[in-house]
Chain A
């Protein structure tokens, strides 16, 4: 049960119940869909990008708690970042949820709230749930409008 508690932390449950930045973005100039055919998680990420700055970000879709919370927390973390920093953050996040060992203090600090997903690394089948929004974000910022990405 403790592993489960570690995964379904209060912050994750809160963002699942009350996702932030949910809904279509009126001034979006990029969007991409992420789909996991294994479990049916499906999210669309909308971004408003000026130059290399991600000025605004939102998402729509349905999926499991891990996926929805990851979407919600990602939009909070990435809003206002430049594209290179967002890509680097995805790299950190990916390492966090796939690492063999717990993250160090420096990494945890760099990830901020996203460190709440550390419990995912105990559940390899859930890694895709947590990273799906990031794959969609990457597709969106790389200016591939309306592209659909799949984790399968």
Chain B
């Protein structure tokens, strides 16, 4: 998929890559699909679709259950995917990889189980950039425990204010939970520094990596993350596959999240003994096919080459920023120091809901709305934005079509 040119930078053969994604080769309203809603969910390569389909055709059985051949196959595939995730994010041990439905469930697991020890007066720090799924679970925890939620503000570039963060850290802080990449603005937060400052005070840090892994490789040990949560479906895998990474010393201390099958060693009516990690935190039959598909997505990404993916996207997103910002009557929302994958904008006098629908008629799929980040919208004083979000299979031609589409929107509103 990649080849080396005279320079050392790997180059992505995007035309070839696009042919791997059946959903991209279709027309919408008679126009070729331009899919720019990758931050909501990515399309899936044939390798992933086939892995899910093959699993159901040939290997379908429950995991960790039976002595029969299919159950052994299913278990090998499921646990094989766990090893692929471990290697991808450079976790030290397989027991540190917990499969969940998605980022939302991963964060809820931590809020529920790690949060069980929180007491009145304890503090949790999040940022003003967070997705609702990294706000609401902590609010619920605060209601249960009497802990307080503290919020790192952002500036008008869409960057978190590090000086304010330093002020918020104190002896009552029990956890910092922050996005690696903002889903509504594309800001790449300085998570290394965020983690380092928290660790100087012995405070653990959870990173919401839902918008990071689709764009660049993450090394959880190099970062020093205590918890790192992400979704398979945003990184070209199936819906229903999510990952909670946690350092083993921390995971060992968590009470069970849900009770049920697979998370127990023995059950009697007098007492239940719990299974070891990671199974202790994975009650019930998991979404086995989705996890197998996630394994195929990781193989696919490794095959493309992460450097080639990142280099293509860097160039593409900076082209998109320049092109969209250059349209008269268009305002970028957020101009962060470091950006990945996402460009949010408004069009003068035209609500995103109208723009999104007119663009759809041009075959262009963007997200129009608050992107589950209402506090970010409030900060910028807009009810909603238009959000174009990119993946490695997008092209400069997609950006040009979006720019032409925005002009079409403006034309419709001229009447």
Contact = CB atoms under 8 A, between A and B. Distances in A.
Given A40-B369, A40-B377, A40-B383, A10 B415 contact: yes
Contact of A123 (B351, B357, B368, B377): B357
Given A13-B415, A39-B368, A65 B350 contact: yes
A38 interface: yes
Among the interface residues B353, B357, B361, B415, which one has the most CB atoms of the partner chain A within 10 A? Answer: B353
A152 interface: no
A3 interface: yes
Interface string B326-362: 0000000000000000000000011111100110010
A14 B415 CA distance: 9
A1 B369 contact: no
Contacts of B353: 39-41, 63-64, 66, 126, 129
Interface in B390-414: 412-413
Contacts of A64: 351-354
A17 B349 contact: yes
Interface string A24-57: 0000000000000011111000000000000000
A64 B369 CA distance: 11
Size category of the A interface is: 20 to 34
Contact of A65 (B368, B369, B383, B413): B413
A144 interface: no
A47 to B, nearest CB: 24
Interface in A105-147: 123, 125-126, 129
B348 to A, nearest CB: 12
Given A13-B413, A65-B351, A65-B413, A40 B357 contact: no
A8 B349 contact: no
B247 interface: no
A99 interface: no
B354 A1 contact: no
A151 interface: no
Nearest to B382: A40
B215 interface: no
Interface string A5-23: 1001010011001000000
B309 interface: no
A126 B361 contact: no
B383 A42 contact: yes
A4 B412 CA distance: 8
A61 B200 CA distance: 47
B30 to A, nearest CB: 10
Contacts of A8: 354, 412-413, 415
A42 B378 CA distance: 14
Contacts of B358: 4
Given A64-B354, A65-B351, A123-B357, 15 more contacts: A4-B358, A4-B361, A13-B413, A13-B415, A39-B353, A39-B369, A39-B384, A40-B377, A40-B383, A42-B383, A63-B383, A64-B352, A64-B353, A65-B354, A66-B353
Top 4 closest pairs, chain A to chain B, by CB: A40-B383, A64-B351, A64-B353, A39-B353
